[in-house]
Structure 1
Amino acid sequence: MKAQFKVPASPVRRERSREIKRSAVISAARQARLLSRSQLTELTGLSPATLTPLVRELIAEGYLIERGADSSRSGRPREKLEFNPRAELVAAVALQPHQARCEIADSDGTVIAHEDVPLGPDIVATICDVVPRLAGAGRPELRGVAVAVPGVTADGEVRLAPSVGVVETRSIGEGIRERLGVSVVVDNDVNLMVAGEHAAGAGADVRDLMLLHVTDGVGAGLVLDGRVRRGASSAAGEVGFMTLDRDAHTHDGVGAFEAQWSESAIAAYCDGAGVDRDGASPVAALIAAAAADTAAREYLDEVLVAWSRLVISCACVVDPGRVLLSGAAAELDDAALSRLQELVDADVPAPVEIRRGALGEQAVLYGAISSALTAAGLMAVPPT
Structure 2
Amino acid sequence: MTTGQPARRPKTRGVVLDLIRAARTISRIELATNSGLTPPTITQVVRELIAHGLVVEVGRGASTGGKRRTLLQLNPTARYAVGVLFERNICVIVVVDLAGRLAARTSFLGTALLPPDQALPLVASRVDALLETAGVDRDLVLGVGLASYGPQDRQSGVLLTAQPTDEWFGYPVAPRLSDILGLPVLLDNDAAAAAIGEFWLGTVEPHAAYGCIYMASGIGGSVVTAGQVYRGSSSNSVEIGHITIDINGDECHCGNFGCLENYAGPPAVIKQAMRTAGLGRRLGLDPNDVDVMTHFGRIATAASAGDPTATDLIVRSARHLGTGAVTMMSLFDLDLIVLAGPSFAAAGAIYQSVIREETHRRAFARRAHPLRVIASTSGADAAAIGGAVLVLRSELAFLELNGAEPPQPPEDAKDDHLSRRARAALTTKRVSRPTATGGG
Q: TM-score range by the shorter chain?
A: 0.5 to 0.7
Distance 1:210 1:375, change over 3 A: same
Residue identity in the other structure for 1:316: S
Give the SS at the match of 1:194.
Answer: helix
What's the TM-score once normalised by structure 1's chain length? 0.66
Whether the 8 Å CA contact 1:211–1:323 is kept in 2: the answer is yes
Give the SS at the match of 1:233.
Answer: coil
Match for residue 49 of structure 1? none
Quote the Cα distance in structure 2 between the aligned partners of 1:218 and 1:84: 36
Q: Select the residue among 336, 351, 370 that pairs with 1:322.
A: 336
* 1:303-382 map, 5 Å: 303-327=317-341, 328-329=343-344, 331-332=346-347, 337-351=352-366, 352-378=371-397
Match for residue 236 of structure 2? 235
Match for residue 121 of structure 2? 125
Residue identity in the other structure for 1:135: L
Residue 263 of structure 1 deviates from its aligned partner by: 1.7
Residue identity in the other structure for 2:262: A
Q: Which runs of 5+ in 2 are unaligned?
A: 1-12, 21-42, 46-50, 55-72, 285-294, 399-440
Distance 1:170 1:117, change over 3 A: same
Quote the Cα distance in structure 2 between the aligned partners of 1:180 and 1:303: 39
Residue identity in the other structure for 2:144: V
Distance 1:337 1:83, change over 3 A: closer
Residue 98 of structure 1 deviates from its aligned partner by: 5.0
Residue identity in the other structure for 2:358: L
Q: Select the residue among 281, 286, 305 that pairs with 2:298.
A: 281
Quote the Cα distance in structure 2 between the aligned partners of 1:267 and 1:201: 34
Q: Which runs of 5+ in 1 are unaligned?
A: 1-23, 32-42, 46-54, 65-81, 380-384
* Identical aligned residues as a percent: 19
For the aligned residue pairs, the C-alpha RMSD in angstroms reads 4.2
**Which structure has the highest strand share of the two?**
1
Residue 91 of structure 1 deviates from its aligned partner by: 1.7
Residue 376 of structure 1 deviates from its aligned partner by: 4.7
* 1:1-384 map, 5 Å: 86=77, 88-97=79-88, 100-116=91-107, 119=111, 120-121=114-115, 122=117, 123-135=119-131, 139-153=138-152, 154-155=154-155, 156-160=157-161, 162-163=163-164, 168-200=169-201, 202-204=203-205, 207-253=208-254, 256-273=259-276, 274-275=278-279, 276-277=282-283, 281-286=298-303, 291=308, 302-327=316-341, 328-329=343-344, 331-332=346-347, 337-351=352-366, 352-378=371-397
CA deviations 1:255-292 (Å, max 9, x no partner) are 7321222122112222321234478632343465664x
Quote the Cα distance in structure 1 between the aligned partners of 2:178 and 2:313: 47
Residue 116 of structure 1 deviates from its aligned partner by: 3.8
Give the SS at the match of 2:221.
Answer: strand
Whether the 8 Å CA contact 2:77–2:97 is kept in 1: the answer is yes
Distance 1:204 1:163, change over 3 A: farther
Give the SS at the match of 2:92.
Answer: strand
Give the SS at the match of 1:170.
Answer: coil
Structure with more relative contact order (C-alpha pairs < 8 Å, separation 6 or more):
2
Residue 186 of structure 1 deviates from its aligned partner by: 0.5
Give the SS at the match of 2:185.
Answer: strand
Quote the Cα distance in structure 2 between the aligned partners of 1:236 and 1:104: 27
CA deviations 1:222-274 (Å, max 9, x no partner) are 11233112221221122222122112254444873212221221122223212
Whether the 8 Å CA contact 2:96–2:385 is kept in 1: the answer is no
Give the SS at the match of 1:378.
Answer: helix
Give the SS at the match of 1:281.
Answer: helix
Residue identity in the other structure for 2:386: G
Quote the Cα distance in structure 2 between the aligned partners of 1:365 and 1:277: 29
The structure number with the bigger radius of gyration is: 1
Residue identity in the other structure for 1:150: Y
Residue 146 of structure 1 deviates from its aligned partner by: 0.8
Whether the 8 Å CA contact 2:161–2:170 is kept in 1: the answer is yes
Q: Name the count of aligned residue pairs.
A: 313
Give the SS at the match of 2:84.
Answer: strand
Give the SS at the match of 2:159.
Answer: strand
Residue 194 of structure 1 deviates from its aligned partner by: 1.0
Residue 162 of structure 1 deviates from its aligned partner by: 2.0
Whether the 8 Å CA contact 1:266–1:283 is kept in 2: the answer is no
**Higher mean C-alpha displacement, 150-159 vs 247-256:** 247-256
CA deviations 1:128-153 (Å, max 9, x no partner) are 44434543599433321111112223
Distance 1:86 1:268, change over 3 A: same
Match for residue 425 of structure 2? none
Residue 313 of structure 1 deviates from its aligned partner by: 1.8
Quote the Cα distance in structure 2 between the aligned partners of 1:365 and 1:248: 33
